[in-house]
Structure 1
Amino acid sequence: MQTFGFPIEKNPVKTRDDTIRSLIQITDPLIKYFVSGNTGVRIGSHGTVYSPRVIEMEGWSRMLWGIAPLAAGGGHWDGTELHFEGLKNGSNKDSPFYWGDIRDFDQRIVELAAIAVALLIAPQTYWEPLSAEEKKRLAQWMIRVNTCETVKNNWIFFRVLTNLAMERLGQPFSAEQTEKDLCFLESLYTADGWYKDGQQYDNYNPWALHFYGLIYYKYKKDDDVERCKRIKERAVLFARQYKAFFHSDGSTVPYGRSLTYRFASTAFFSACAFAGIEVLPWGEIKGLILRNLRWWFKKPIFNAAGLLTVGYAYENLYMAEQYNAPGSPYWALKAYLILALPEEHAFWAAEELPLTAEHQYSLLNVPGMLFCRTEDDTVMLNAGQYPGFALNQAAAKYSKFAYSAQFGFSVAVSGYGLEKTGCDSMLMLSKDSDYWRERRTVHDICCTPACLRSQWDPWPDVQVTTYLIPCKNAHIRIHRIQSACDLKTAEGGFAIPVFAESGDSVPVIRGTLDTACKGGGIIVKLPWASAFIADIGMDGTVCRTACDFYPEPNSSLMFNYTVLPLLTGDIRAGQTVLACITGASVSSRDVHIPKIDIDFEKRTCVIDGETVTLC
């Protein structure tokens, strides 16, 4: 896709000075959009679940995730004076620009975290210049959070950070509330470095629960010794697994909610560096962060005014959550915590190292994720999970069979009409060819390094057991379906871009793939990518048809118009077995379909003579 040619696209992001310049290139365009006594920024008109006034405040506060570390490291931003005026006005009850009292379950609680961290790491910029009265007003406004109810998840950390900042600044705080909150946060820990922020594992591990915990560690490791020891140990465990999400080119496997925060994906590693914990070799940490920034800055994530947009690899509201406001994407600036480190720190002094991967396949057993790494791509096979609240696009974000660093995934525009369902990397089922259902809540999960299994029930009278097996540059899907009624089925491979980055269009090449079963397969080729799917079902009564399929524009996170390979077919009531092999590549290449034999009695899948045990 085409970009606007901003200077940041040519920024090499190799050194600390390059990184500082990239932050300024991101934040400078915001200066002209300060409003309401500089207590907010107004950069868009779409709404969210909180008020327009708080939307503006959110945009103001999230800038702090970048400009506060810059100030802590001795840097300067031209908008600091205006921004600092907003801090004084927003926390002043007598000001016409007062942010308002902090209330129960208030979005202002979220934004307190950025202010608290700014006070912790750069008091010379955000605290010391305040008058005695201004300090008192700000402290009283912030500490009100101790009287408020809040969501019982990572939000609890916002109160911890606020109390920590007040303690460090010699202001009133609640040690009792902090201890209670920290005990709750530790209750979210499960195993092997993973926290469960609700009912699911997702990006709130790296860019929230670990991130805030590492800031707490930085300031309390000599006081709260045992707890901080656990924080460090868990961060080391998590780092060894989390790096599996990153591909060698800097891209990340997108999965779960809040993906509009983009390069916040590296905030965990930035926080490790800030805390002085070498969870990986310094050069590898540096490479992970800087390659990721470089990857993002080549994407059209900025609008014509140079402002970050809601979306992923381009501006896109279809994929947004109900809590994404125009200023929300600036949470990505958490990645810039490394700017608080001086030039001589081991992180900056290290030579940037490439990503190291010990194995082609790596299983993260706790979240049920099996990563498959090739030179072309990093793909995550997903046992499946589902959030415990009505999240926008929850099925697409948590329950697809596979997620790709290069090809991402697609969301649904509607459940009616197959082209609107985001059917890539998913088996869609319908009773009427109109309304389609996909995998959502799963149970009976089993994970091994060679196979993932889960059961899902699209209707009370339909049960599907799905097996996912990595296979070189592809993966195999097997579905055992027990249904009380006849069903229509559609199963999609990865969605690839129709247009070149220049905007040019070329003909799509469609090739057939022969398999041993009655059905067949298709490969879809373009000069810049190819994707295929081939039916390998063992059920002689089912014959699926392969075709190229064009989903609704802007349903993909990565590309604004896509094509994908698709299998469709009807199944009868009773038990049916469907199986396929599918994959994609960033080049236009031929594929080899291996000989595959599935034996449920022996619980095996034999792939070109190699046996995989079905879990």
Structure 2
Amino acid sequence: MQPENITLTSPLQSRNDIRQLVNELLNAVTPFFKKDTSRVDLANFTAHYGQRVANMETFSRLLWGVTPLLAGGSEPEQFSFYLQAIKNGTNPQHADYWGEVAPYDQRIVEMTAYGLLLALAHETVLAHFNEQEKTNLWRWLKQSEDQAIPDNNWHFFPILVQVGFGLAGMETNPQALEKHFAAMEHYYLGAGWYSDGPGRPRDYYISMGFHFYGLIYAKLMAEIDPQRSAELRRRATLFAADFIHFFARNGAAIPFGRSLTYRFAQAAFWSAAAFAGLEIYSPGVIKGIVLRHLRWWMQQQPFDRDGVLSVGYSYPNLIMAEDYNAPGSPYWGLKTMLVLALGEDDAFWQAQELPLPELAAQHSIPQADQILVHQNDHLWMLTSGQLELNNFVNTEAKYCKFAYSSRYGFTVERGRYGLAHAAADSMLLLSEKDNYWRGRRDCTSVSTADGMIYSRWQPWHDVTIATWLLPLGDWQVRVHHISSARNLDTAEGGFSVPNRPQPLAAAGQACCQLTTSTDISAIFCLSPVPRHGERILTPPNSNLLFAERAAVPLLCGELTAGKSLLISAVWAGNPADFNARLCPQAIIRDDVVRLVTAHHQKCLTLTDLPEISV
């Protein structure tokens, strides 16, 4: 059940619809405002930075909705509370002072919202501040300039503070701005892509971080810093041509990577593109992406009973959370509401909402080592070489699977013992005969070319696996060339499906197929190593898209020490679209594998792997 105070009857088609949604999201938090303080306390769990900072984070993230309202000419109902909370929080003499920041401090993250508030609504806000209160705000935000921060998207936080200072007529530090821009150049990959720090993933932080802030900068600083603004727009334009492939025609995006509890921040890039007037797609296309995405999210279960956004993905779920996810963290999703800063007469709001343009069925992104596949009613992504170096919870599940799906999501690990807990979907898991399972984590080599992704990985120091991932039409094919000094059990999973009702399973030699009235998920063995089909059920709340137990089709077998070849074909989608007779075939001759379907053919050569010293 969705909470009654969140509008689900609104078609979310007009500017007024979105304005109403933002007000309702903000008003749902109002009962949790602490009277005569600057704190918002939503729940009794917290993040690694403690409850006091978590409360400050909750308040600050609400500003991502407040600021577009103010910039667009309206005020939130609790405007006086927001003003007083900012005054109290930045006043060193007040009991609710937010405090002096330390290295790597979460409060530096939240300062970005105040930078945007000053940039877009300084006249409205500062009219209520006396000179001392303005100085307090400036001084508190100024702490972001030189404090040690992670070497990733955080560099944009002090930059946006400087933008706010400049546009509000406050003293700026140009050297700090230049320093942080220079730091981010070290992980610009070209073609519009960054990594989220040196050697780190290419995930939604590239869209909702780098390019979101970059486009805001480009819009607001176009006359002050025209050369850099033009370059940021150029990079965002290149990125947009790839990023559009992350969105399905029904508005869903592919769940992948960390911080998925920010939910509709997945589309924040497109709101920033509209805000900056980025001319990559027509206003109607961008409007369609944003509004369909918001409508899709309103059809999920992202709220608690009281209308507060929960930590989770399509339903409340602390199991999938990172250690920096506090009760108010999900309100970063309000970044997508930036389009409310555009007036009703803007081209974005005047345009007729349009569907996605015609897109290639397959789209490779070498800079991100990703291949996107647009199947009928199913958008999925192949990927390799992603690893979050901070080792946040469920890093392997969020980054290291072979595939991610807009329709079937993915499961997170609940334990290493037993396949049901080990998040086997879209993974090859291996066990040393003890029912403890491990799969791909770090890759020692990755390349994306010729419509396929190659990776080399080592689950043990003396087990090396070369994996090729390639789409053949709607089929996903995986080739694993394994050199092992150990005898191993193997389990390879296809896409998980909801266990509602329990799917009809057809499992036997060399295949497993799960069928419901709405879905089929199947995996077929194409290699000579004998494997048998098996179905497992995961614990509840394992899959990000559905809370009930997920069913996963598996291929299971044994490997003896030496070299082995495993090849599988995976399919998932509408039952009416499935035809097992179209399953790819593998023709193996010497070290060449030829993969063939009725309409596609691909050859790959198996590179000899190094000998293993036991």
Corresponding residue of 2:567: 579
> In the alignment, is the contact (CA less than 8 A) between 1:450 and 1:612 conserved in 2?
no
Q: Do 2:505 and 2:535's aligned partners in 1 also have CA atoms closer than 8 Å?
A: yes
Superposition deviation, residue 223 in structure 1: 2.1
Matched position secondary structure for 2:430: strand
Match of 1:546 in 2: 533
Amino acid corresponding to residue 511 of structure 2 in structure 1: G
Pick from 587, 593, 597: which aligns with 1:607? 597
Q: Residues 171-250 of structure 1 correspond to what in structure 2 (within 5 A)?
A: 171-198=170-197, 199-250=200-251
C-alpha displacement at 1:37, in angstroms? 3.2
Contact 1:406 1:586 in 2 (8 A): no
Structure 2 CA distance for aligned equivalents of residues 212 and 463 of structure 1: 40
Q: Deviations over 1:395-417 (max 9, x none)?
A: 11111000001111111111222
Normalised to the residue count of structure 2, the TM-score between the two structures is: 0.95
Aligned to 1:40: 39
Counterpart in the other structure of 2:132? 133
Residue 579 of structure 2 corresponds to 591
Matching residue of 2:147: 148
2-structure distance, mates of 1:438, 1:522: 20
The match for 2:357 is 356
Question: Separation in 2 of the partners of 1:527 and 1:14?
Answer: 32
Change (3 A) 1:572 1:5: farther
SS in 2 for 1:237: helix
SS in 1 for 2:367: coil
Supply the distance in 2 between the matched residues of 1:495 and 1:147 (Cα, whole angstroms). 46
| Bigger Cα displacement from structure 2, 121-130 vs 460-469 | 121-130
Matched, 1:102 2:101: yes
* 2:80 matches 1:85: no
Contact persistence 2:382–2:402 (CA under 8 A): yes
Match of 1:502 in 2: none
Tell me whether 1:565 sits opposite 2:566 in the alignment: no
For each residue in 1:460-510, what CA deviation from the matched residue of structure 2 results, as whole angstroms up to 9, or x when unmatched?
A: 1101111112123321111111111110011111111113xxxxxx34312
Cα pair distance change 1:44/1:586, threshold 3 Å: farther
1:119-160, Cα deviation, whole Å (9 max, x unpaired):
111113322221111111111111122242222211111111
Moved more, 301-310 or 8-17: 8-17
Mark the CA change 1:588 to 1:527 in structure 2 (over 3 Å): closer, same or farther.
farther
1: CA distance, partners of 2:438 / 2:165? 50
C-alpha distance in structure 1 between counterparts of 2:6 and 2:212, whole Å: 30
CA contact (8 A) 1:163 1:178 kept: yes
More deviation in 144-153 or 399-408? 144-153
Q: 1:92 to 1:147 in 2, by over 3 A?
A: same
1:172 CA displacement: 2.1
- 2-side partners of 1:186 and 1:220: how far apart? 19
Counterpart of 1:521 (choices 505, 511, 515) is: 511
What secondary structure is seen at the aligned counterpart in 2 of 1:137?
A: helix
- Please give the secondary structure, in 2, of the residue aligned with 1:322: coil
- Correspondence for 1:516: none
1:511 counterpart (501, 506, 516): 506
Q: 8 Å contact 1:548–1:566 — kept in the other structure? A: yes
Q: Tell me the CA shift for residue 85 of structure 1.
A: 1.2
CA contact (8 A) 2:503 2:516 kept: yes
What is the CA-CA distance between 1:192 and the residue it aligns to?
0.5
Q: Is the 8 A contact 1:190 1:196 kept in 2?
A: yes
Separation of aligned partners in 2, 1:369 and 1:492: 19
Aligned AA for 2:530?
A: C
Q: Residue 94 of structure 1 aligns to which amino acid in structure 2?
A: Q
Counterpart-to-counterpart distance in 2, 1:11 and 1:186:
43
Shift of the alpha carbon at 1:444? 2.6
- Alignment partners' CA distance in 2, 1:91 and 1:398: 38
Corresponding residue for 2:609?
none
Q: Quote the offset at 1:543 in angstroms.
A: 1.9
Question: Separation in 1 of the partners of 2:456 and 2:342?
Answer: 47
Kindly provide the amino acid, as one letter, of the partner of residue 195 in structure 1: Y
Aligned residues: 600
Quote the residue 2:371 is aligned against. 370
Q: Which residue of 2 is the match for residue 405 of structure 1?
A: 406
**C-alpha offsets along residues 62-94 of structure 1, whole Å, 9 cap, x if unaligned?**
001111101110123212211221011111111
Decide which moves more: 467-476 or 454-463: 467-476
Q: What is the SS of the residue equivalent to 2:506?
A: strand
Code of the aligned partner of 2:57: E
Question: What amino acid maps onto 1:9 in structure 2?
Answer: L
Q: Distance in 2 between matches of 1:470 and 1:530?
A: 18
Q: Identical aligned pairs, as a percentage?
A: 35
Residues 1:442 and 1:229: Cα distance change in structure 2 (over 3 Å): same
Change (3 A) 1:581 1:164: same
- Residue identity opposite 2:602 in structure 1: V
Q: In 2, are the aligned partners of 1:451 and 1:614 still within 8 Å (CA)? A: no
> 2: distance between equivalents of 1:156 and 1:450?
34
Task: Report the residue type matching 1:255 in the other structure.
Answer: F
Matching residue's letter, 2:264:
F
**Runs (5+) with no aligned partner, structure 2:** 606-614
TM-score relative to the length of structure 1: 0.94
- Deviation string, structure 1 residues 344-392 (Cα, Å, up to 9, x no partner): 1011111111012331111011101111101211110113321222221
Distance, in Å, in 1 between the alignment partners of 2:577 and 2:505 is 12
| Counterparts of 2:246 and 2:127, CA distance in 1 | 41
The aligned residue for residue 608 of structure 2 is: none
Q: What displacement does 1:32 show? A: 0.8
* 1:487 counterpart = 2:488: yes
- Cα distance change, pair 42–480 in 1 and its aligned pair in 2 (3 A): same
Which residue in the other structure is 1:535 paired with? 525
Using the TM superposition, name which of 393-402 and 519-528 deviates more.
Answer: 519-528
Matches within 5 A, 1:365-514: 365-499=366-500, 506-512=501-507
In the TM superposition, what whole-angstrom CA distance separates every residue of 1:283-318 from its partner, at most 9, and x where no partner exists? 110000000000000101101011101111111111
The residue matched to 1:205 in structure 2 has which SS?
helix
User: In structure 1, what is the Cα distance between the partners aligned to 2:19 and 2:155?
Assistant: 31
Structure 1: gaps (5+ residues): 500-505, 514-518
Q: How far apart in 2 are the matches of 1:184 and 1:261?
A: 26
C-alpha distance in 2, partners of 1:498/1:38? 47
What is the Cα deviation at residue 587 of structure 1? 4.6
Tell me how far 1:589 sits from its aligned partner: 5.9
3-state SS, counterpart of residue 9 of structure 1: coil
Of 313-322 and 32-41, deviating more is 32-41
| 1:13 alignment partner in structure 2 | 12
Give the Cα separation in 1 of the matches to 2:591 and 2:486: 25
RMSD of aligned C-alpha atoms? 1.7
Amino acid at match of 2:255: P
Shift of 1:422: 0.8
Q: What's the counterpart of residue 503 of structure 1?
A: none
What is the match of residue 57 of structure 2? 58
Q: Secondary structure at the match of 1:444?
A: strand
Instruction: Report SS of the residue matched to 1:44.
Output: coil
Moved more, 24-33 or 231-240: 24-33
1:556 equivalenced with 2:556 (yes/no):
no
Matched-pair contact (CA < 8 Å) for 1:220–1:228: yes
Structure-1 separation of matches of 2:519 and 2:2 = 20
| Structure 1 residues 449 and 251: CA distance shift in structure 2, 3 A | farther
Cα pair 1:93 1:100 within 8 Å, conserved = yes
Change in Cα spacing, 1:164 to 1:298, as seen in structure 2 (3 Å) is same
